[in-house]
Structure 1
Amino acid sequence: MVQLNKILEKIEYHSFVGNRGIAIDCILPLDKINNVSGALSWCGDKNAELLGSIKTDSIVIVSKNNGYTSGLENYLVVENPRRTFQEILTLFFSKHREPAISKRAFLEDNVKIGKNVFIGHNVVIEENCEIGNDTIIMHNTTILSDTIIGSKVSIGCNNTIGGVGFGYEKNTKGNFELIPHIGNVVIKDNVDIGNNTCIDRAVLGSTILEDNVKIDNLVHIAHGVIVGRNSVVIANAMVAGSVKIGENSWIAPSSSILNKKEVGNNALVGMGAVVTKSVDDYAIVAGNPSRFIRTIEK
């Protein structure tokens, strides 16, 4: 249970209408908050009309553009309701894992581990790896040799990071033989990686996720890929070898990017797109094969 007054001390807001002494004991989606007391929810402008049918003395976070607050006894007016909701959850309601290394994890002797790290059950970390401060590695994840992971990184369950990619060459008999992958993976600070994702080591050099990159569940990042700062790669996406993704770009679910292509800064690759040509800065592409849709306003 959290007193609203304590929340208001920590966040920025335009105004609050109602009882500042109310206590919040649960978080509910907007469609579950009708006639409920002591809850917190939020409403974006796209769903503002839904508030017209809600009667509650719980707290709803709304934007200053929202004109459907007549049924609300307590509401918080902010610039961006979703962002404020995220801040409140992070500050007051999220569960923080205490630093620990599971007795059932296996770490090679020369692995370097920073401060305040959590390493879950059955995690394997091979030789010459480095793990930065305040990083979380969840259960059953394998970190293969020479991988470098920065600080405040979150890695989910059942991931393989630093494995060998799919790089083959035919020998003189016409049979495929694996090209040795002698590079590594470098994951920089504040990166989040979901569950069941595979990030391959480079053949030469490094596969790199720059600061604040977010990788969803069931994503494949192939050898030698570079994902630029603050970019997002979402579920079931496949990023083939030596692709370069710029900063602040959005790679939508189930999209595929052909090897050695480049996606520019602030670009958007649409859901299910198959990218066979490089994508310019601020471009939106979609379809199979992908085609240019429009330019994002700067």
Structure 2
Amino acid sequence: EADAEEAGEDEDEEKEGVKTSEDKEKERQMQLLGLIREAQLRRDELETILADQPPEDHEDLVKGAFVRITVGKQIQGQIEQNCLLAEITGVEPSPAYELVRQNKETRTLRLQLKCRRDSSERLLKVSAVSNQPATENEMRQWVKLMHRSGKDTDLLVETVQLRAQAVVQSKHIKYDEATVGRILAGKPSLEFNAQKESRMRFLVQAVVSQMDISGIRESEVEDLEVKFKESVGGLHKMEHKALQMQEAWFKARPNLFSIREINRKNEKRQILDDRHALEISLEEELNAAGKTLNPYQRRDCRPVSAWDTSLTPNLGKPLDQGQE
């Protein structure tokens, strides 16, 4: 009986030892998952870095970071989407494409990511990157893939930890005056050509007024003259651009008349209408039985015969006996 009790105690100690090793392995996996999530860049974070940071710093800021890529697989006629972990190795230019952020805002990017998974590399758009954190199953798949490549787990943890530190620093963007100025300079102007032309005309008029007021001060006049020349040059440029746009618009619509042709036809129609009115007045003058009409004479407002003033035939005759 004593031997049986000792054997049972040894088995319990072995089970406790097995549980302890499993717990350690689970803790290590959870630690690795946390580091991978810290070293992961989501879609909105990537878009912010690529849109707000200078192009020469893009590759240094995102290189080595993990991304969660959405992959579609067709099974029995239906597309099933899965996600895989990959590593960013570079950034390359691409044709413009739209990217929808999590807040439903649409942005335009002209960059694509070079991603590596094991020994294969692919060029992917930022729109293919997921906006959700990495899961435990995806982390296990990535660890198995690294083990097949002959990499040690401890070395992986150290590598991921270094990547996480670099990615955390790249996520925090300092929006100073230079950064905001560069971002605004890269955005297209919301002012259309008509507004620009109106603004140039205002600047020309303002500079002329200032030159009249400050004509005595020679130092200011020189500056105003430079502004005047710049404003006039900008105004001529906008007028030339408007003329080119007008010509291009009519050139794209050959069935329509140009403004010059429309004005010519309107003038011809007006001349014909005036000639027709003159012919009518001359014809009425000839039909007036030799009576010449004065075109400057005011038309008579009173009638020629307002009422009949002649006496009736029976008026003034004596009445018959039967009439009263």
TM-score by length of 2: 0.16
Q: Greater relative contact order: 1 or 2 (C-alpha under 8 angstroms, separation 6 or more)?
A: 2
- The structure richer in strand per residue is 1
- The structure richer in helix per residue is 2
TM-score by length of 1: 0.17
The structure with the largest alpha-carbon Rg is 2
